[in-house]
Structure 1
Amino acid sequence: MSADSWVQGPSARPPKPKPENPIEAAIAAWLLDLPADLTDTKAKHVHSIVSGAPKRWVVYSPMVLLPAGGPGSKWWGIAESSDPVLKNEQDRLWRLILNKISKKEGKGVLTHLAVNSGIPLHNPTSDVKTSLEADNEADSLENILRTPGGLVMLYGNFGSPLSPSQPPTVQDFEEAFWVSTKQNGITQVWAPRFTMFSRGNVKEKARLLDFQRSSQEFGTRTLGAKLLSNSTAVDLYAGIGYFVFSYVKLGMKRVIGWELNPWSVEGLRRGAIANGWTIKIVRHCEDLYLGTENIIVLAEDNKLALVRLQGLKSDCLDIKHVNCGLLPRSDLSWKMASEMTTNDGWLHLHENVGVEDIQTRKAEIENIFQGWLAERGDKRSAKVEHVEYVKTFAPGVWHCVFDVFINAS
């Protein structure tokens, strides 16, 4: 018997069956029980789901988040149909998807289903305005709170819509729908209807955790645990604690952050508690003073951040890190950030940059900071020590972090 005939013989093991995709399985089960009297219009919605439904998902317990698909694609179009038969059938489909994914993940019952969307740079408006009026209102139309206005909520109660002009109350926070996830051993919490979450920042969070723990190519970054435990980090765009939490876990004495979105502040507060860290929220016009808390968050615009910090005793701060994490660019905060460190320190500047322009931008940033130091008579030097390519933002465009080292020696 030849080797080939032995391999192909009856004793050969059959190939393992391909694992069942829970979304495909849910759709198949849903189709079996669909009413037989679907009209052509209804059938169009059904076809869009069958042909365009995603095969991937992300679980943020107890929510499943599905990708939107290609540009202009709305595979979930059944949710926008006014047909009563389809309205009844859509909830059955969403429940089947949740049930199948729950069994696949084995992480408890999943109760909410949504379709992801990008964070709009501007708030939607239905008013027709002249170009002059639009220019005058540019600041007010910018989505500075990074509210996920395009989130498509398919199943489950995500909380009542609230007017952006009215600040949320404690009751609003209690009645809202909150989710959580763990990245790099750190829990983060947010309300998906009101707050963004960027899954792709996990790499940058991990980099900060290792920034001064391991021996690296940069000798400047080797700081002992004692020095770190007496140092402060500042995050000028704190969000729900993306980088705030990394600095705390790194071993720094405290992190001081600024955040305008009250929902993000509340998510940051809940996340800090979930991780076992202490936190204090300072509201607008309240005095800032240093206590024993791991995290201090100022729920206000960061325009006066430098003034706020200068009101504290500088010998209590020793700021080693300043994070400027606003996209698509954070340059309006850079000059202020350059004045926050008094000894050696690092500024982490986030910006979306065309891949062909990154090295040019690196040189520009270095010259800008050198100029600011010279302008103030500051004898320290500034060097872009490293450019981190975090993730692609668009074809040919990278979300970069420029690490500017302010050197006192």
Structure 2
Amino acid sequence: MTRPPKKKQNPIHASISSWLDTLPLPFLESLANQLNADAANAKQLLVDRAPKRWVVYEPMVLLPSGSFTAAPWPALLKSVAPPQKEALWTAILHHLSPSNSKPPLTHLAINEGIPLHLSHRNNSATTPSQSTGEPGRQQQPSEEEENLLRAPAALHPLHGSFGPAPSTSTSSSRPTQADFRSALWVSTTQNGIVQTWAPRHTMFSRGNIKEKARLLSFHSPSSSSSSNSRHTARVRKKETLRGRWAVDLYAGIGYFAFSYARLGMQVLCWELNAWSVEGLRRGAEANGFSVRVVTPPSAGEGGGNEVDLAEVLGLGNEEGDRSQIVVFLEDNRRAAGRVREARERIGAEQLEVVHVNCGFLPSSEGVWRDAWEIVQTGSGGDVWLHLHENVGVGDIEGRKEQVQALFDRWKRERGDGGPKEAKVEHVELVKTYAPGVWHCVFDVFITRDSV
């Protein structure tokens, strides 16, 4: 009789079991006494309450939020010596490292959600960014500000150097090239596109993979996407996308910008977080896209509007820089004005925009009017706006009607000479953001011709 194959042990649990066997017996007996159990049951309880899942972003392993916070883990980690704790983290990395020719995994951290607000803390307290090796150790907040840069302030490094500590203020000075060089940079590949970021300073959302794929197939008439089937007649041939532009008003590390670039478009980006811009630059190079970063002077240094967008993009100049991706490290509220000024100088037909992406949660509504203005100053072809927002599952249809009413009003205010139609043609449900809440994308099709 053939025995069924033995179930393979979870590699994290296997590493923990091996590590527990290295601890002195009196130590385990003391822990067992505290739990009113024998040593074997105490060990099993620790294994059972250890994390079961992980994500690899080479060379880092990211454990889920709350890892090693269930009793008796906090007491155990507090009582073991630092070398013993380090032995645990390295054992986990060893068991999770690939057995093929890939380099071993070298960094370990616990993930936390991206906070909507950042706390300013007393300097004498221990910050979450410090690698204490003890999960869940945080300071008491004193005051808060909005986390505009979506900094992963609660990431808990466990093993390896993650580089300089992140700032707790959105108004702090920008990082230096030395900061970039000393930081840990990780990467992953989705839909054949490399994404690169510094996990201590910028976020990464795996759940956006569906929306990235949708954009990659947006102009494919053979796509099975439910949204693509709604606009088959408006699909552009790939060769007609070359020389056209996509505008990404919340570029991040290139989540959606790279999808547009892969389609052959040039991409004009705005991003306020210098760490994200550096990740975008590194990711663009890894994907073979030419990229240029523009850092205008701040308002306090003489304005910031003196940068000539037409000159930056190489428009109207045969010898200009024609980088496929151009990213402005500045507030996206300057975007519409820069586009308008460039078109006034060289002609609207030289900067034809096909897509405008507004990918910010919980709502990107703050730049919808700017996206609309970018459309107004253009000429000729039709444009797709992709507006991201979190919406309650029972409110999606009502919100769609509100978005439509908003564009109807802006069209009436514009009067003659603007687009003939602005229609919310589709709502894409990207992923659940929270129970009963969907990350939605409202596709607004804008045309100057009769439909």
Fold in common (TM above 0.5): yes
- Read off the aligned partner of 1:358 and give its amino acid letter: I
Deviations 1:254-298 (A, max 9, x none): 100110110000000000111111111111234322131000000
Q: Pick closer, same or farther for the CA change 1:48–1:260 going to 2, 3 Å.
A: farther
Q: State the Cα RMSD in Å.
A: 2.5
Look up the match of 2:152.
148
Task: For structure 2, list consecutive stretches of 5 or more residues without a partner in the other structure.
Answer: 36-41, 123-141, 223-227, 297-303, 315-321
Look up the match of 2:308.
287
Task: For structure 1, list consecutive stretches of 5 or more residues without a partner in the other structure.
Answer: 1-9, 128-136
Measure, in 2, the Cα distance between the counterparts of 1:188 and 1:79: 37
Deviations 1:126-153 (A, max 9, x none): 48xxxxxxxxx99x81000110001111
| Identical pairs, percent | 51
- Read off the aligned partner of 1:269 and give its amino acid letter: R
- Read off the aligned partner of 2:186 and give its amino acid letter: V
- Read off the aligned partner of 2:152 and give its amino acid letter: P
Measure, in 1, the Cα distance between the counterparts of 2:394 and 2:69: 29
Please give the secondary structure, in 2, of the residue aligned with 1:271.
helix
Look up the match of 1:266.
278
Decide whether the 8 Å contact of 1:240 with 1:264 is kept in 2.
yes
Count of residue correspondences: 385
What does residue range 2-401 of structure 1 map to in structure 2 within 5 Å? Answer: 10=1, 13-38=2-27, 39-40=30-31, 49-69=46-66, 77=74, 81=78, 83=79, 85-103=80-98, 107-126=102-121, 141-163=145-167, 164=169, 165-215=172-222, 216-217=228-229, 218-252=231-265, 254-284=266-296, 285=304, 286-288=307-309, 289-291=312-314, 292-313=322-343, 314-341=348-375, 342=378, 343-377=381-415, 378-401=418-441
Measure, in 1, the Cα distance between the counterparts of 2:175 and 2:33: 40
Q: Pick closer, same or farther for the CA change 1:70–1:153 going to 2, 3 Å.
A: closer
Measure, in 2, the Cα distance between the counterparts of 1:301 and 1:363: 29
Report the Cα offset of residue 209 of structure 1.
0.1
Measure, in 2, the Cα distance between the counterparts of 1:330 and 1:276: 29
Measure, in 1, the Cα distance between the counterparts of 2:333 and 2:77: 42
Report the Cα offset of residue 380 of structure 1.
1.8
Report the Cα offset of residue 196 of structure 1.
0.6
Measure, in 2, the Cα distance between the counterparts of 1:251 and 1:79: 54
Q: Pick closer, same or farther for the CA change 1:23–1:72 going to 2, 3 Å.
A: closer
Structure 1 length-normalised TM: 0.88
Report the Cα offset of residue 79 of structure 1.
9.2
Measure, in 1, the Cα distance between the counterparts of 2:370 and 2:420: 16
Measure, in 2, the Cα distance between the counterparts of 1:48 and 1:172: 42
Measure, in 1, the Cα distance between the counterparts of 2:100 and 2:428: 33
Q: Pick closer, same or farther for the CA change 1:75–1:393 going to 2, 3 Å.
A: farther
Deviations 1:80-110 (A, max 9, x none): 73x4x34322111111110001146874300
